[in-house]
Amino acid sequence: MNEDAPLPQVNAREVIRALESEGFSVARTSGSHVQMKKPGHRYVVTVPQHGAKSIKPGTLLQIIRGAGITKGDFLAALGRTN
């Protein structure tokens, strides 16, 4: 997987599902944001949940970085290994 490839447009539900497959679980929901935690992981990852809207590429990149995974791992968790 080319790490410079553009990220796909995904909504919050898809991001949450991908993070769950990487070992994260929903810790709490605060308003329209879902906070996810992984045992042994230092940070809480926040996913904005604004209906069926897709998450902006910069926000998605920050979520991936905060989760401590690569773009390739994220795409594999989504089931999109292009």
Domains of the chain: 12-78 (3.30.920.30)
Pairing of strands 45-48, 33-37: antiparallel
Q: What is the CA radius of gyration of the chain?
A: 12
- The pLDDT score that the predictor gives to residue 81 is 61
| pLDDT for res 13 | 94
Residue 20 tokens read as: 């769950």
Strand, coil or helix: 59: helix
Is residue 32 very low, low, confident or very high in pLDDT (cuts 50, 70, 90)? Answer: very high
Mean pLDDT of the 30-37 span? 94
